[in-house]
Structure 1
Amino acid sequence: MNERMRQARIARGSQEWLVRAIERYAREHVIDVASTRSLRVYVSEWENGKRAIKGRYAEILRNILGLTDEELTDRPVAEALAPAVDGYDELIGRIDSARNVSMTLVQTFLDQTELLRTFDRQMGAAGLVDQMAGHLAKLEDALTFAVLPETRRPVAVALTGAATLAAWQALDVGAVERAWRHYELGKRAAQEANEPMYLAHAMAEQAYVLCDAGRPALAVELVRDAWRAGGDHLSPRLQAWLHAAEAEICARAGMGDDCRRSLDKAAACLPDGPEDRDPDMLSIFLNRGHLARWRGNALAMLGDDDAVGSLYTALDAQDPTFIRASAGLRCELAQAHLAREEFDQAREHLRHARLLAGRTGSVRHRRRIEQITGRL
């Protein structure tokens, strides 16, 4: 039984849905696939472990289901193998190549991460599995064979940014173990680079994995530990982001007073103005509009009537290119209206959320939508 593939498919729809998705992907990318009748047999046999997933079908399923090759074939992730070298010549060659990693190449790595981030927020993470895996592999390889700190540090900084992005993408497509491993990679890279800001950010985002796994109290401890890891090195916008993240996680843990205190602290330290990008840490997007959404989401979880006003303020300020974020905001508005027993409004926002989640393939938002729908 290929349990990982089966669970990934169940999170999205029926076996018939997967057959149609394969046919649609094949048409869009001009790939030959079997007939509908044969594909129904293939899907059943793949999930039952009776047929190996190979060639073009592996590529198609990776992009539809957002799984890596290891996850798709239900194999455990192999330990990283040492480079195959005959003596020292090849090893020294790799080390010499790593010494030549220039700031231009590091900037290329950063630019690729930024491109993947843009694709992710507009189209979703499921179709980026191959690109993200290749990007991380190149960065890890560059760091593995770099020797001296002046070469290792900029590569490690680039790696921690890419790893946390890959982790968030994995969490969005429902690959929680992969998300956890990527966050651990990001934390190690941040420690290697001696970058407390990146370490604090990776730890706080990792807390969301614990929340989604049903351990919000432990997540609160982790996000508070992120504050200790960051110390006095956090930018004002990152401080506000951490306070807002702590507020949301406290709300999920039922800690209302702690949640409200953290929201007030976030508002107090967030820089004014429409700018949302932290120049010291490009992973952070936060301005007053974003914070209004965060406040509304947290208050909605606490059943607070003020949630709706904050969320509509956020909706008015929402960047339309943030498709996945828009799906989340619609979920939060549905939840807030549901708490006020305004069922028609809740259903309307859920309708929008489904359309947006369908565009990005977000398993995480689909789960939220089904949870809220079950309460209507």
Structure 2
Amino acid sequence: MDDGPGCGPGDKQPNERLNSWFARSGWSKGEVARQVNRRARQIGATHVSTDTSRVRRWLDGEQPREPIPRILSELFSERLGQVVAAEDLGLRSAHQPPATSGVDLPWAAPQTVQLLSEFSRSDLMLGRRGFLGASLMLSAGPALVEPMQRWLVSTPGGPAPVPAARAPRSAHPTRLSGPELEQLEATTVMFRTWDAQCGGGLRRKAVVGQLHEVTDLLQEPHPRATAQRLFRVTAELAELAGWMSYDVGLQPTAQKYFVLALHAAKEAGDRPLGAYVLANMSRQMIHLGRPADALELIHLGQYGSRDTATATTASMLHAMEARAYASLGNVQKCHRAVRMAEDAFTDRQAAEDPDWIRFFSEAELNAENAHSYRDLAYVAGRSPTYASLARPVMTRAVELFADDAEHQRSYALNLIGLATVHLLEKDPGQAAELTHRAMDVARKVRSERVNTRIRRTTCTAVRDYGRVAEVHALRDRLRAELPDDTEALDQRAV
């Protein structure tokens, strides 16, 4: 069954906007059809089955039904590194119901619990059939940043116990024991370890299910201290659900979880945790080509967590600030943020760090700073100067991650990052060898983010060095193991 036409065959005019973005993407019609079908399967929209003739009709002016406009918006945004709304593509997008669209949500405990419960339930029950993916839209610019600024507004008297949103399950109020709370916290740590080892695709639904269970607990009356601990667990689980969604390419879903995690962190009274959530929102905006939004979000996190964040958290925030400045091409401020990240890291006391920031090791610091230098090289027109700065720092990150069995996804991502640096330095053989190593690691993790970066790096190598034997072999392996961009590779290898 296909997606069906959105309008009759008469009075159609070519969709000039969609044709323009299509030309910029470098995709063929067949490749667009394959990408749409793959993304539809990811969100559970199993009724979607698109082919080349259907894509041609869209270009000729036919309006597809949801979830196609949102899928095309996500695909072009990721392909071109900037937010491309459905309207930018000349497509009509369905009206967004207030419960699932936008990020301007009430900053109040009962509403936060209700929204988390509804959204996690929808993700579990409806996401598999495609309804959740079709009802979400990314926010950016002031529509995203301004609501997040309310995170800084203090709640009079601090976070309060949550009044029951429904009748208790029994005649007696729920009283969680200390060991039960500790078990919930330990489970969250376990999920975080699984994500680092295996990628977001394997355990995402388990995390969402645990999040839903914890929000159920929050709908019972609890003492203030217990409610705060439950909100902290909720914030960590929502952040992890967002991170896993980001890792598998569900960008609107990821953003929604990040926003709800920030709300929960505010109710927990945990400013550093909120800053960590904002840092991941900043990373997502860099990925989507919105570095100015990323910078505002990271500054909001830094301001809100001043005097409360550990040195490790402060170092991570400075490193993300450097990434945003690099994407903006601001060389001096990027260098300054890199130095501040390194200085803060020297003051770290591991015993002071909560579990959610313990991933930020020496390897991670080197990785972030190397990516900042690499991004400066791209912004400066493939500058060999910044590439030469990136190479030793990225090499050190790869060496450290190679011995870290708990962070295999990071190992793969930095192998790819080092490959891109070698491409900047016009060394395609070494770039191909590193990408082969990344593909070996990628087979052990389930991360669409890793797979996408492997495809992009290989496409770049084929475009620039398609006649080099090592690159030709890499292309053949990609076609066999990660074939989504096969046709694009064939077109570039001329």
The alignment's TM-score, normalised by the length of structure 2, stands at: 0.59
How many angstroms does 1:136 deviate by?
0.4
Instruction: Classify the secondary structure of the residue corresponding to 2:226.
Output: helix
Q: Which AA in structure 1 matches 2:232?
A: V
1:280 paired with 2:357, answer: no
Q: Does the Cα contact within 8 Å between 2:124 and 2:209 map onto a contact in 1? A: no
Change (3 A) 1:251 1:181: same
1:359 paired with 2:444, answer: yes
Q: Which AA in structure 2 matches 1:75?
A: F
Instruction: Classify the secondary structure of the residue corresponding to 1:92.
Output: coil
What are the within-5 Å matches in structure 2 for residues 246-257 of structure 1?
246-257=321-332
Change (3 A) 1:357 1:306: same
Q: Which AA in structure 2 matches 1:213?
A: L
How many angstroms does 1:95 deviate by?
8.5
Moved more, 140-149 or 186-195: 140-149
Q: Who is 1:10 aligned against?
A: 38
Change (3 A) 1:211 1:93: same
What are the within-5 Å matches in structure 2 for residues 1-376 of structure 1?
10=38, 46-48=47-49, 68-76=124-132, 91-93=167-169, 96-98=172-174, 100-271=175-346, 279-284=352-357, 285-303=359-377, 304=386, 305-318=388-401, 319-376=404-461
How many angstroms does 1:184 deviate by?
1.2
Instruction: Classify the secondary structure of the residue corresponding to 1:141.
Output: helix
1:248-273 Cα shifts (integer Å, max 9, x gaps):
22222322222211110011111368
C-alpha distance in 2 between matches for 1:7 and 1:96: 52
Larger radius of gyration: 2
C-alpha distance in 1 between matches for 2:430 and 2:233: 43
The alignment's TM-score, normalised by the length of structure 1, stands at: 0.76
Q: Does the Cα contact within 8 Å between 1:335 and 1:346 map onto a contact in 2? A: yes
Q: Which AA in structure 1 matches 2:425?
A: R
Change (3 A) 1:232 1:350: same
Q: Does the Cα contact within 8 Å between 1:125 and 1:361 map onto a contact in 2? A: yes
C-alpha distance in 2 between matches for 1:73 and 1:209: 25
C-alpha distance in 2 between matches for 1:200 and 1:354: 33
1:163-203 Cα shifts (integer Å, max 9, x gaps):
11111111000111111111112111111011111111111
Change (3 A) 1:363 1:344: same
* Long gaps (5+) in structure 1: 19-42, 50-66, 80-87
Q: Does the Cα contact within 8 Å between 2:196 and 2:406 map onto a contact in 1? A: yes
Q: Does the Cα contact within 8 Å between 2:45 and 2:131 map onto a contact in 1? A: no
How many angstroms does 1:96 deviate by?
4.1
Q: Does the Cα contact within 8 Å between 1:122 and 1:360 map onto a contact in 2? A: yes
How many angstroms does 1:151 deviate by?
2.2
Q: Which AA in structure 1 matches 2:457?
A: I
C-alpha distance in 2 between matches for 1:315 and 1:116: 24
Moved more, 288-297 or 222-231: 288-297
Q: Does the Cα contact within 8 Å between 1:190 and 1:196 map onto a contact in 2? A: yes
Q: Which AA in structure 2 matches 1:362?
A: S
Q: Does the Cα contact within 8 Å between 1:11 and 1:363 map onto a contact in 2? A: no
C-alpha distance in 2 between matches for 1:114 and 1:91: 31
Q: Who is 1:59 aligned against?
A: none
Q: Which AA in structure 2 matches 1:47?
A: V
C-alpha distance in 2 between matches for 1:101 and 1:44: 39
How many angstroms does 1:287 deviate by?
3.1
Identity fraction in percent: 23
Change (3 A) 1:46 1:295: same
C-alpha distance in 1 between matches for 2:45 and 2:360: 45
C-alpha distance in 1 between matches for 2:287 and 2:219: 32
Q: Does the Cα contact within 8 Å between 1:295 and 1:310 map onto a contact in 2? A: yes
How many angstroms does 1:76 deviate by?
3.4
Query: RMSD of aligned C-alpha atoms?
Result: 3.0
Change (3 A) 1:366 1:249: farther
1:70-118 Cα shifts (integer Å, max 9, x gaps):
2321113899xxxxxxxx9x813469443x1122111111111111112
Q: Which AA in structure 2 matches 1:72?
A: R
C-alpha distance in 2 between matches for 1:133 and 1:173: 14
Moved more, 204-213 or 172-181: 204-213
Q: Which AA in structure 1 matches 2:230?
A: V
Q: Which AA in structure 2 matches 1:294?
A: E
How many angstroms does 1:289 deviate by?
3.1
Change (3 A) 1:278 1:242: farther
Q: Which AA in structure 1 matches 2:364?
A: H
